[in-house]
Amino acid sequence: ILNVEQSPQSLHVQEGDSTNFTCSFPSSNFYALHWYRWETAKSPEALFVMTLNGDEKKKGRISATLNTKEGYSYLYIKGSQPEDSATYLCAFPGSGYSTLTFGKGTMLLVSP
């Protein structure tokens, strides 16, 4: 089973703060790195699929960067809002066809 590590495990910030968290993955045989957001009582939602070293993707106030050579990706949230409260998951292709191995997630709580 591949090792996908996320840190921190949880984070509590105030509204308006900017924050970031990390996903570490095996740097050999890279194909893609996925980020998902999972809000309570909803289904996980894909944020980004990143495939190129140095890639940077943006969706509103959320952005992500990718370093495939050293095996990490950062997710940034600028000016956090309470609606950003969720668990953020990263995932790396698993050993099976089209499968993903998920990290345990970073749980973000944004207080008003």
Partner 1 sequence: DVKVTQSSRYLVKRTGEKVFLECVQDMDHENMFWYRQDPGLGLRLIYFSYDVKMKEKGDIPEGYSVSREKKERFSLILESASTNQTSMYLCASSLAGLGSNQPQHFGDGTRLSIL
Binding residues (CB under 8 A) for partner 1: these are 1, 31-32, 34, 36, 42-46, 49, 51, 89, 93-94, 96-105
Q: Which two tokens stand for residue 43?
A: 């289904």
Place of tokens 């105030």: 14
Place of tokens 């740097």: 27
Q: How many helices (H) and strands (E) does the chain have?
A: 0, 11
Q: Which residues contact 29 (CB under 8 A, 6 or more apart)?
A: none
Residue closer to partner 1 (CB basis): 17 or 24: 24
Shortest distance in whole angstroms from residue 96 CB to partner 1? 6
Shortest distance in whole angstroms from residue 60 CB to partner 1? 17
Residue closer to partner 1 (CB basis): 43 or 112: 43
